[in-house]
Every structure is written in structure tokens, then in C-alpha cells.
Structure 1
Amino acid sequence: MKTDSLFYELFKLHPESLFGLAGLKADGKYAFESITVKTTEKRMDGFFRRTDGSGADIFLEVQGYDDTEIYWRLFQEIFTHYAQTGSRKPFAAVILFLDKKYDPKNCPVKKFTSPNRLIRLYLSKCLKAIGDKAGPLTVLKPLIFSDKEKLPQAVPKWKSEIDSLRMSESTEKLLIDLLENAIISRFPKMTFEEIQKMIHYTPIEKTVVGQELIQMGMNEGILNGV
């Protein structure tokens, strides 16, 4: 799964995640959709359509490589969409850079008429702001994880965060699948078998047998006056 597809699947499942990632408060309800600009035949990475009221629609571009024309292309696609649909709703253009180095910082538009706006997001900064908070965005945490040696400890923790959400079995399975794909995207030499072993690994002290052994050890210590 490509990285942009990972975001597509996450936001399709849970559109509110974009606001959590950006640290913004949603002022209405949104539906995530896939739209294609007819003149370029390019599918935008994400379109969040406001489903209540007349608030802004959100256009999302996920950028994970160098492209000095990214701002030009994004606005071209947004303006073409408005020309094709006749919509007059305000917009928010969101560019999510997987790494700050991919931002060419050459946006041709310096000022927007409110409430139209441009929002730049850097994935690492966004996820660090979230910290250890559990949520669907947990599936993105591997993308900024650098120490492969610590994956065996990190993966079960991410799995536990997803479990704590208490979602339906099908939704949880999808989130686990996205987590696996995020790990593969970050560490492409790893196999799914290696990752699944980490995900389904349970430390001995967390198992029933392990807890019984710990209790037996404690009881023995008490009997021996330890």
C-alpha cells in the first residue's frame, strides 16, 4: 500500500482524524470523498465535503517527495474543481508533508480572503503533539519512528492503543491492517510475518500463565520471609 493510500483509507474510515492531526476543532460534520479533476484526470488525495451548513470544504494533498510545483498544482486542481462544479462554498487547502524537507516554501498565494485558507502540516510535528494519546491516528505513528531495534516494544504498544478504542471487530481489523502497512512503508525490508509476530506478541507478564507464575513467586517469597 502506498503512503497516500494509507491516509486515504484512514480518513475514509474516520474523517475526524484530519482535525485531530491538525489540532483543529471541527465546526461541523464532514464526509470524506474521492474526487477527480476532469481536465487533469488526477484524483486528489482527499476531499472533505461539509455535510451540514455552509462551512468550508477541505482539499487535502499528502506530499512525501520533492515537488517544487506542489502549491501550483494544488490550487490549479482546487480552482478547476470550482469551475467544473459551480460551487461557491469557501475552501481550506491542506498540505500534509510527510517530512518538513518536502515543503518548497514557495506558495504563490500569500493571502487568502477569509474564510478561505491554506494549512501546512508536518506529520512529525503533528504526531508529536498528539503524544501517547490513543486514537485512529495511532496507525500513522510508525511513519515517524526511526529506531527499528525498538519496534518489538513499540508495535504491541500501538496495538494496545488501538484495542483501547473498543471499536467494532471489523473496524479494529482495518486499523490493524493500516498499522501493518504503515510499518512496511517505514521499514520496507521487513516482512508482514515479522510485523504480525510483533503485533500478536503478548509479554509473559500479561498472560494468564505469566500472572499465575508471578503470583506463585510472590507467595513463595512470603512463605520464605522474603
Structure 2
Amino acid sequence: MKTDSIFYQIFLKFPRSFFDLIGESSTAVDNYQFTSREVKQLSFRLDGLFLPTGEETDLPFYLVEVQFQPDPDFYYRLFSEFFLVLKQYKPPYPWQIVVIYASRQIEREQSLHFGDFLGLSRIRRIYLDELGQAANSSLGIGVIKLVVESQEQAVSVAQALIEQTKNQLTDETIQKNLIDLIENIIVYKFPLKSREEIEAMFNLSDLKQTKVYQEALAEGEEKGIILGKQQGEANLVLRLLTRRFGEISPTLVEGIRGLSVEQLEDLAEALLDFRSEEDLRQWLQVNR
């Protein structure tokens, strides 16, 4: 599972979850925009940035990194890239770095070179398996922790989160977006299962509340068409792409509708990493 992509989708669609995770007031989200920054000439991008929306502020900007695999070079890469970004953009805010680990065992501190850095209050390390009661009291943290739940627990936890979402969120758009995220996490946690099998885990009713399924179903009803699996998968992928990039060019739509079910499932996973319509175009050139 591409955990970094899933986390960035969570922070993009439900940014309050990040501030719950770091113990800040959920109202802090009103002062931030979740975005990314590319370092020119060096061809790398920092994807997880919470930037204050106003320039005249003492609020910090947050760099968020998700690390779910042991990597002895992680802190070498993180700090070198981060300070290059500071040099290039010189943001008018103080900084904070937040690193999210599945567990403490994954971390490779490299204390010889970074022990002093990691002791700074500006750098926070969060271990999802140590969240304890916080994961039960906060909807946002619960969704984040769902990423590391075992397959045995994931479905029941997801069902409880869906009910919590319906009960706690009054904004219909935010509610549906969060249910959609919960669905995506479950889909990626069961890579060998079909959508039909995953729907069956939820007795169909919960997943059918997501925006993707509602819109695809409504489209089919309006046209009086009973969608086949390939057509249904194509419509779902197109809905996701349209929500992300706006109207997709007719040539690309035609190319997507010509993909097999297997190719559409691959595209549904890959699109989480797309930054522009050009990424989609390149993916189709390679995979068709």
C-alpha cells in the first residue's frame, strides 16, 4: 500500500486530522492550506506542507513526512532536502517537522549525526501504534490509525469510523469525502480482493454512501444503463480524476474508457500520486 499517498489524501480532504494528531486545537486548520513545493533544478518535491494562509503571522509551517519502511538514509534525505527548501523559498514563518511512523521499530535515528536535531522541540516524531486513547477520542486520528490496523480489525474499525463520521460531521460534503477516504484505505489494505468482495464486507450499504458510488450510480440511472464491470470501473476512475483535476480532455477520456478492468484498477491506485493531467497522459502512454 502506498501509505504516503493515502496520508496525503487524508490531510488534503480532512486536514483537521493532522492537528488532532499533533495535539493542536482543531480550529487551527482554518489558518492553514495543505500543499506541496518543488525545488527547482534539483527535481524533488516536498508533498506534505501545511502553510499558514496569512503572511503576517507567527504560526509555524509544518513539513509532514510519513515513513513506514526502515530506511537508514531517511534523516539524511529529510534534512538535506528541507534546508534546501528553506534556502530557496525563505518562508516568512517558523518551521516544524512532523514525522509519522507506523511504529518506533521502523525508525533509524542515526544519532551520531542527527541526535541533537531530533532533540529539538521543532521536530516531532509520532508513532501510530502508541497513540492509545487518542485514537478512540478523535475521528481524525482514528482514520489515520486505520492505515496501520490489521486486516482482521480493519473492517470493523472502518465501520465504526463511518458511523462516527455520520454522527459527528454535519457538513455533507466533508462527511462524504471522509467516508470516501475510509473506503480507499480499505481498498488498499485488501489488494487481492475485488471491489465486489470489499463491498460485501460492508453489506454494500456503507460504501454506497460514498460520493464516487452515488454519482456513478446516478449517472447510470439517468441513462437507463446497467453498467458492466469495465464501464463501472471506468466511470469511477473518471469521477476521481475529474474531482482532482477538473474536466479531463476527451482524448484522455476515450483512452481511459478503452482500458481493461485490470488496467483501470492499476490506474485507480496510480492516480493518487498524480500531480497534473500530464502525469495521467504519461501513465496512459506507458500502460496502454
Contact 1:139 1:158 in 2 (8 A): yes
TM-score by length of 2: 0.60
Residues 31 and 48, structure 1, Cα contact 8 Å, conserved in 2 = yes
User: Structure 1 residue 80: deviation in Å?
Assistant: 0.8
Residue correspondence of structure 1 range 68-217 to structure 2 within 5 A: 68-107=72-111, 108-111=113-116, 117-126=122-131, 128-146=132-150, 148=152, 150-151=153-154, 153-200=156-203
Tell me, yes or no, if the aligned pair for 1:156 and 1:201 is still in contact at 8 Å.
no
% identical equivalent positions: 30
Contact 2:99 2:125 in 1 (8 A): yes
Distance in 2 between residues matched to 1:25 and 1:198, nearest whole Å: 35
Larger helix percent: 2
Aligned length: 199
1:37 Cα deviation from its structure 2 partner:
2.3
Which residue identity does 1:46 align to in structure 2?
G
Q: Which moved more, 1:23-32 or 1:34-43?
A: 23-32
SS of match in other structure, 1:159: helix
Change (3 A) 1:32 1:45: same
The structure with higher relative contact order (CA 8 Å, sep 6+) is 1
Q: What are the superposed Cα offsets for residues 170-194 of structure 1, whole Å, 9 maximum, x if unpaired?
A: 3222212211222233332233323
After the TM superposition, which of the residue ranges 134-143 and 64-73 deviates more from structure 2?
A: 134-143
1:6-39 Cα shifts (integer Å, max 9, x gaps): 1111111232321211234479522111212224
Q: Deviations over 1:188-215 (max 9, x none)?
A: 223332332333567xxxxxxxxxxxxx
SS at match of 1:119: strand
Aligned partners of 1:45 and 1:180: how far apart in 2? 22
3-state SS in 2 of match to 1:132: helix
Structure 2 unmatched ranges of 5 or more: 206-288
Cα distance change on mapping 1:106 and 1:170 into 2, 3 Å: same
Q: CA deviation at 1:61?
A: 0.8
CA gap 1:146/1:62 in 2 versus in 1, 3 angstroms:
same
CA distance in 2, matches of 1:8, 1:26: 18
Which of structures 1 and 2 has the bigger CA Rg?
A: 1
After superposition, what is the alpha-carbon deviation per residue over 1:108-145, rounded to whole angstroms, capped at 9, x for unaligned? 33345x9861111112223x332322523333333232
2:34 to 27, 32, 35: 32
Cα RMSD over matched residues? Answer: 2.8
| Alpha-carbon spacing, 1:196–1:175, altered in 2? closer, same or farther (3 Å) | farther
Unaligned runs of 5+ in 1: 203-226
